[in-house]
Amino acid sequence: MNLALALFVVVGFAGTLEYLNLPDHARGVGERSQDALAVLRNDALDDREKEEALQGYARRLFGLLGILLGGSLLALGGPLAIVWGLERIGVGSFGAVLGILQRLDFLAATIVVGLLGYLIVRRLRTP
């Protein structure tokens, strides 16, 4: 049962990340960072224009940081909270699930299966 709950945590985490579109938000951080760097390198702008542009990027980056931080906490905390709740009613063991999640063989299998799943989904989505 604990192995099933550990798999639930992993799938719940990945599903929540995808549902909240966090990978696209992370790419947005990279794009905003590149845009801010381009402003710094733009010799056509004076210091005031650069400062105004960078302040706009900073606000957007802080917003994206909040989304990423909150979404990540929700993605991990949600499934773990459910496992904790199930332990309270006598189903599974929260400590045992955490132990499974930390095992190297479980982590390696999760990485391999996740990578294969990602490649399959990517191939199916590409026309």
In the prediction, which pLDDT does 121 show?
Answer: 84
Q: Domain residues for 10?
A: 2-125
**Which amino acid, residue 54?**
L
pLDDT, mean of residues 35-55: 88
Secondary structure of residue 92 in the 3-state scheme: coil
Query: Taken in order 103, 106, 108, 111, is the CA torsion positive or negative?
Result: negative
Q: Distance between CA atoms of 24 and 76, rounded to whole angstroms?
A: 18
**pLDDT given at position 108:** 96
Q: Is the pTM of this model over 0.75?
A: yes
- Count: domains in the chain: 1
Query: In which band, very low, low, confident or very high, does the pLDDT at 87 lie, cut at 50, 70 and 90?
Result: very high
Compute the mean pLDDT over every residue in the chain, rounded to the nearest whole number. Answer: 91
* Mean pLDDT calculated for residue range 92-116: 94
CB atoms within 10 A of CB 7: 17
Instruction: Write down the pLDDT at residue 45.
Output: 84
